[in-house]
Amino acid sequence: MYEHLATFPGGPPNAHHIQLYSEWAKHEWGMVVTGNVQVAPNHLTLGRDIVLPTGPALSEPSEQDLLPFCRLADAIHGLKDQTNSVQVRNKTLAIMQLNHPGRQSSNFIGGRWPLQPPLAPSALRIGVGSTRTTGFMGELVNKLMFQTPKEMSKTEVQGALNSFVQGAVFASRAGFDGVQVHVAHGCKFIIYSVIEITT
């Protein structure tokens, strides 16, 4: 899922997210998984992604760093902001979806300078090696929006893995009940490594 509600070019959850998830909380679903929460601010999908903080704000976050994410977890749990009366917490599990879009980070709104290639596990552009045919227009859109990514070095792979692990710890500190690791876009190797690191 992708809400497309953050500020451009990406940022923390804001009042739009809180309003949306608070509405869903009224129905007390068993589990709510957030939309994409990017672990790298220079790898966005459509430019208005929720993005985790970086550096010390991720590894050793202050209350201020955590606050927007705490509010999102509280909204999923059916709790109100300080300005409203506090409700009894629902039983809904709040799950943060951690994501790195890899080769699906677009040219112009992907959080990088235009035409700077995204990092991905391999140097395969979107659509290359696909068994489905996209037709002329689909191929044209793919070529305009996405470019051939730069294959990650071992150091860059480890950096991405560390971002996922730190993101999971950050989510826990913010009050989320768990994380979902989004492993599309050619990044399936990450799930196995995150499980190995965290278990």
- Split into its structural domains, the chain has a count of 1
Residue reference for tokens 């996209």: 134
pLDDT of 138 reads 75
| In-domain check, residue 99 | yes
| In-domain check, residue 92 | yes
- Quote the pTM value: 0.84
List Cβ neighbours of 80 (8 Å cut-off, separation of 6 or more). 22, 74, 86, 87
| In-domain check, residue 181 | yes
pLDDT of 31 reads 93
Pairwise CA distance, residues 160 & 24, whole Å = 31
- We report the CATH number of the domain holding residue 103 as 3.20.20.70
| In-domain check, residue 129 | yes
| In-domain check, residue 186 | yes
| In-domain check, residue 7 | no
pLDDT of 139 reads 77
User: Using H for helix, E for strand and C for coil, what is the string for 125-169?
Assistant: CCCCCCCCCCHHHHHHHHHHHCCCCEECCHHHHHHHHHHHHHHHH
Q: Which residues pair with 93 in a beta bridge?
A: 31
Residue type, position 180, single letter? Q
Mean pLDDT by 10 residues, the chain (199 residues): 89 96 88 94 91 94 96 89 62 93 87 88 76 70 84 92 94 96 65 48
| In-domain check, residue 1 | no
| In-domain check, residue 3 | no
- Residue 119 structural domain: 15-198
